[in-house]
Amino acid sequence: MSRAGQALRTSYLVASVAGVLFFALSVALLGVWPARLLDQQTAAMAPEKPLEPTTSEKRGRAVYAREGCAYCHTQQIRYLHADMSRFGAPTLAWETRRDTPHLWGTRRIGPDLSRVGGTRSLDWQYAHLYAPRAMVAASVMPGYPALFDGAPDRPRQEARDLVAYLDALGRARELAGPEGESRARAGCNCPDDEMQQMAFEGPLNAHPARAIRTPDAAPALAGGDLERGQALYGRHCATCHGTTGAGDGPGARYLAPAPAKLAEHAYATARLADVLWHGVAGSAMPAWRDYSTEDRAALALAVQALSAPRPEPEVPAHLVTLGREVYAANCAQCHGVDGDGRGSAAGKLTMAPANFTAQRLSLTEAVRVLREGVHGSPMAPWTTRLTDAERLAAAHYVRSLFRAAPPAMVGR
Amino acid sequence: MFGLVAAWQLIAPDLGRDVAWLGWGRVRYAHTQGIMLGWLANAFFAFLYHAVPILTGRPVTSARLGVWIFALWNLAVMAPGWVLVLAGVSQPLEWAEFPLVVDVVAVLALALAAVQFLPGFFRRGIESLYVSSWYIIGGLVFTLLSYPMGNVVPEFLPGAAGAAISGLWIHDAVGLFVTPMALAILYFVIPASTGRPVFSHFLSMLGFWLLFFLYPLNGTHHYVYSVIPMAAQLTAIVASALLGVTVVIVVTNLFLSMRGAGLLPKDPALRFVGTGTFFYVIVSLQGSAQAQMAVNETVHFTDWVVAHSHMAMLGFASFAAAGGLVHAWQRMPEARYNATAITWAYWMLVVGLVGMVVDLTIGGLVQGELWKSGAPWIDSVTASRVYWVARAHIGSILAAGFIALLVGLTTGPRGAGMSVRPAPSTDGRDEVAPRLAPATEAL
């Protein structure tokens, strides 16, 4: 064999060994070493006793994996402001310590789901899983009727597990609370690392649709383009509230409380501003914070246009006094003495009581609600406690509390 | 076909709504595994049966072993893999969706393939190996290492650590299995078809080693801006840039080897292979670019990346595989060959692929910009619809192209491929082997 051949042979042998070593190096450098660092990070930054997934959530996770949900929904919020302002704090290593195998995903057709827990109501999740376009008209998500017994309100075990899993996403960090965050911050020990510090910036859950119960005022709305509002309404609201605002959209029947019959309400603009910004916590009504002020103003106009002004019914004199008495005795604890929804018991309820100064129900709707209650909300039927006349009087009375532009519109 | 179903489901999401096994996610699992393991791996194995005896100068290890590998791969990997994934038994890991039980058989089959194809190379002495041989050895050996790493390990590692390994496999699957096999075909078919040795054996070997050093270091670029340690992310980003440089070296060498054949070579095998080479350099430079943080920020998670992976698996790998098959068919007197169908296949695949890549790249940019603008999420879905509609139709062209390829290789008169073979070289011989020997003395 020639000398050149021998040299070549030797160099090939060296290169072959080096090639295998490089592969080993890649696994060590990009697989094993990061895994060790991430383990250390998890140990240092996790809360003392982090929330463990329940059996149902684990089973739900398996359904999520099996159906390939991760191919359209990531579970990884990047250290980028665009991600953080939409979904919340970047995903920390310890948050994924029970995710075996990982479900990070590499494509977002739908939104990231890392912090979707508590963002949507459970009945919305069921209805949406069953028939996505009944809830979000433009969605391209496949429906999963196979997880149900023929209707969204008859979920099989798998659907219950899946929804339990979805509703738990992000919960471990949320429940770790401020103590957990400060422990993570201390464990990170990275005060000068700008990127790592981003994990502690801003709200934990920034989902713009998440309903928030807060006394903070929503940005005020004024003006607005009615036509634009009607187009937006048709695209985003009609699925639940119905095209005419009768509360009869395709998604309506599976939600409790049922979507508001917008045509039966007169709303103060401030009330609509509040609902569109904060959503209605305790119901399936999401917030629409990702829509511009102009769009929300346009939507408010469109909603107001759904209830045509009608001649006000005369209130018989004897009902006025009776109504005031019935209201004071039965309704004021929750709805407030002045009807502003801030009664002494209001804060303890799963859903904020209606603020009658900012919204006026039609008489028939008010009478119906008093008779039937609002299923899925703390508002009970009043047929056993009040007579027909008392309920009619109360209906008249709550309508009289409406102030189209109330002096102090804070919260509900 | 699964890809086509998935594409249509995005624009008609209620398609197959009541059939659980036709759920989008499951179909999507079947699509990626089908393309990589069902189509490409089978095509590569077929080509190896043609190339390895020529490269080594002796037959493959055993014909009976070949039957076993074929049966294992198609009846014990692909068929049960597809059935299980559609039935809901799968791994939620990209490019590794077949469940563990199938992985075991796949590794066994790959090991048998190594036994089948590799011994001849070592008998010949490694100093006289042609570059295609190196790629075949590298591809088979490294796939044996990376397949279990990527298909088994992440199934048992949690969260971020599992994602890190998954990222490695996503790249190794392409870089250590598909790319070496496809390059082996390019380096084989080009000199065999043009009648001249490759432009530079030195460059070809340089490219080979750089590729095998750099490819494995790329994986973490799938998780830029994640909690995976920044040093790992940066390593992958730098390696991605270097990889782009390497591919330019490789492709320059390939194109110089093809000079004189024209933009649209007459030999259909060379035409497929040349187009594949072209897509290879485009997709690699694109890959280097999108690994950079400033680009990744916008295009990650969008259809841009989907376009990228289609260009890699269809543009580069499938064109190489098709070229390899056509080349082999031209040299088998008993093989049926339909020249018209092959021409149609080429053009439909070119039109379909370019259309899909352009369409999804633009769609991806639109999605990325809308996400950054803070517009409501659903706006990005609504805005994507036009691109998804286009993609579904273009996908039909691609599927038709593959059917035409199948028709081209299974119908027509036996041995018809021999007539579209390039004319024998000037020395009057049509022996392929001499042109594939490395010019050791050139060093």
Is the same domain home to A64 and A196?
A: yes
State how far the Cα of A157 lies from the Cα of A317, in Å rounded to an integer.
Answer: 56
Q: Which residues of B touch A12 (CB under 8 A)?
A: 126-127, 129
**pLDDT confidence tier of residue B428, bands split at 50, 70 and 90:** very low
Distances (CA, A) of A295 to A103, A319, B103, B177: 35, 41, 52, 51
Q: Quick check: A139 and B378 CB within 8 A?
A: yes
Which pLDDT belongs to residue A356?
96
Q: Is the pLDDT of residue B322 over 90?
A: yes
Where does A46-193 have alpha helices with state H?
55-66, 81-87, 122-130, 132-135, 157-168, 171-188
Tokens encoding B227: 């909690």
**From the list B16, B157, B381, which residue is nearest A140 (CB)?**
B381
| Token pair 């088994």: residue | B152
Closest alpha carbon to B274 in B298, B289, B255, B300: B255
Q: Quick check: B23 and A67 CB within 8 A?
A: yes
Q: Give the pLDDT mean for A26-46.
A: 89
Name which of A3, A30, A107, A141 to mutate to probe chain B: the one with the most chain B Cβ atoms within 10 A of its Cβ. A30
Q: Give the pLDDT mean for B358-364.
A: 96
Is the same domain home to A258 and A350?
A: no
State how far the Cα of B59 lies from the Cα of B330, in Å rounded to an integer.
Answer: 19
Contact status, residue B95 vs residue B41, Cβ threshold 8 Å: no
Q: What is the residue range of B83's domain?
A: 17-329
- Domain end marker among A306, A332, A363: A306
**pLDDT confidence tier of residue A167, bands split at 50, 70 and 90:** very high
Q: Give the pLDDT mean for B282-286.
A: 93
Interface pTM, i.e. ipTM: 0.90
Tell me the three state secondary structure of residue B124: helix
Is the same domain home to A166 and A274?
A: no
Closest alpha carbon to B172 in B204, B137, B214: B214
Q: Which residues of A touch B372 (CB under 8 A)?
A: 82
The number of beta carbons lying within 10 Å of the beta carbon of residue A407 is 6
Q: CA-based diameter of chain A, in Å?
A: 120
- Domain end marker among A200, A235, A265: A200
Closest alpha carbon to B23 in A147, A155, A99, A157: A147
**pLDDT confidence tier of residue B430, bands split at 50, 70 and 90:** very low
Is the same domain home to A75 and A165?
A: yes
Query: Model confidence over B103-114: pLDDT tens digits?
Result: 999 999 999 999
CA geometry: angle at B21 spanning B15 and B23, to 5°?
45
Identify the bridge partners of residue A155 per DSSP, sorted by sequence position. A148
User: How close is the nearest chain A Cα to the Cα of B299, in Å?
Assistant: 10
How large a percentage of chain B has pLDDT more than 90?
Answer: 61
Domain total for chain A? 3
**Residue A299 is assigned to a structural domain of this protein:** yes
**pLDDT confidence tier of residue A28, bands split at 50, 70 and 90:** confident
Domain total for chain B? 1
Tell me the DSSP string of A171-239: HHHHHHHHHHHHHHHHHHT-TT-HHHHGGGSS-SB--TT-----SSPPPP-----HHHHHHHIIIIIHH
Assess A31–B contact: CB distance below 8 Å, yes or no: yes
Query: Model confidence over A172-226: pLDDT tens digits?
Result: 999 999 999 999 999 988 888 888 999 998 899 999 999 998 888 899 999 889 9
Is the same domain home to A235 and A125?
A: no
Tell me the three state secondary structure of residue A88: strand
Is the same domain home to A238 and A150?
A: no
Which pLDDT belongs to residue B15?
65
Q: Is the pLDDT of residue B1 over 80?
A: no
Higher pLDDT, A184 or A316: A184
Q: Give the pLDDT mean for A260-272.
A: 94
Q: Is the pLDDT of residue A99 over 50?
A: yes
**Residue B425 is assigned to a structural domain of this protein:** no
Is the same domain home to A61 and A169?
A: yes
Q: Is the pLDDT of residue B431 over 60?
A: no
Contact status, residue B39 vs residue B32, Cβ threshold 8 Å: no
Is the same domain home to A60 and A152?
A: yes
Higher pLDDT, B412 or A203: A203
Here the CATH number for the domain that contains residue A294 is 1.10.760.10
State how far the Cα of A7 lies from the Cα of B22, in Å rounded to an integer.
Answer: 58
Which pLDDT belongs to residue B106?
95
Phi first, then psi, for residue A256 (nearest 5°) are -135, 120
The number of beta carbons lying within 10 Å of the beta carbon of residue A186 is 10
Q: Is the pLDDT of residue A330 over 70?
A: yes
Contact status, residue B178 vs residue B138, Cβ threshold 8 Å: no
Distances (CA, A) of B359 to B309, B310, B366, B389, B393: 13, 12, 11, 10, 11
Tokens encoding A150: 């023929």
Peptide bond into A215 cis (omega under 30): no
User: How close is the nearest chain A Cα to the Cα of B379, in Å?
Assistant: 9
State how far the Cα of B362 lies from the Cα of B210, in Å rounded to an integer.
Answer: 32
Is the same domain home to A59 and A164?
A: yes
Integer-rounded Cα Rg, in Å, for chain A is 28
State how far the Cα of B132 lies from the Cα of B320, in Å rounded to an integer.
Answer: 13
**Residue B398 is assigned to a structural domain of this protein:** no
Higher pLDDT, B161 or B1: B161
Instruction: Name the burial class of residue A169, with classes exposed (0-12), middle (13-18) and buried (19+) by CB atoms within 10 angstroms of its CB.
Output: buried
Q: Give the pLDDT mean for B410-432.
A: 65
Name which of A8, A25, A38, A58 to mutate to probe chain B: the one with the most chain B Cβ atoms within 10 A of its Cβ. A38
Tokens encoding B286: 């694109």
Pairing of strands A359-361, A265-267: antiparallel
Q: What is the residue range of A382's domain?
A: 317-400
**Residue B347 is assigned to a structural domain of this protein:** no
Which pLDDT belongs to residue A1?
53
Q: Give the pLDDT mean for A99-112.
A: 92
Q: Is the pLDDT of residue A397 over 80?
A: yes
Contact status, residue A239 vs residue A136, Cβ threshold 8 Å: yes
Q: Give the pLDDT mean for A160-180.
A: 95
Q: Is the pLDDT of residue B71 over 90?
A: yes
**From the list A29, A133, A291, which residue is nearest B376 (CB)?**
A291
Which pLDDT belongs to residue B16?
63
**From the list B23, B126, B374, which residue is nearest A12 (CB)?**
B126
User: How close is the nearest chain B Cα to the Cα of A306, in Å?
Assistant: 24
**Residue A369 is assigned to a structural domain of this protein:** yes
Q: Which residues of B touch A82 (CB under 8 A)?
A: 297, 371-372, 374
| Average pLDDT of chain A to the nearest whole number | 91
**Residue B381 is assigned to a structural domain of this protein:** no
- One-letter amino acid of A273: A
Is the same domain home to A73 and A196?
A: yes
Is the same domain home to A66 and A142?
A: yes
Query: Model confidence over B222-276: pLDDT tens digits?
Result: 889 998 989 899 999 999 999 999 999 999 999 999 987 877 888 999 999 999 9
Closest alpha carbon to B276 in B241, B325, B327, B311: B311
Is the same domain home to A273 and A396?
A: no
The number of beta carbons lying within 10 Å of the beta carbon of residue B24 is 23
Phi first, then psi, for residue A155 (nearest 5°) are -70, 140
**Residue A42 is assigned to a structural domain of this protein:** no
Which pLDDT belongs to residue B441?
37
Length in residues, chain B: 443
**Residue B401 is assigned to a structural domain of this protein:** no
- Domain end marker among A258, A273, A306: A306
| Average pLDDT of chain B to the nearest whole number | 88
**Residue B259 is assigned to a structural domain of this protein:** yes
Q: Which residues of B touch A136 (CB under 8 A)?
A: 378
**Residue A389 is assigned to a structural domain of this protein:** yes
**Residue A343 is assigned to a structural domain of this protein:** yes
Q: Is the pLDDT of residue A3 over 90?
A: no
Here the CATH number for the domain that contains residue B101 is 1.20.210.10
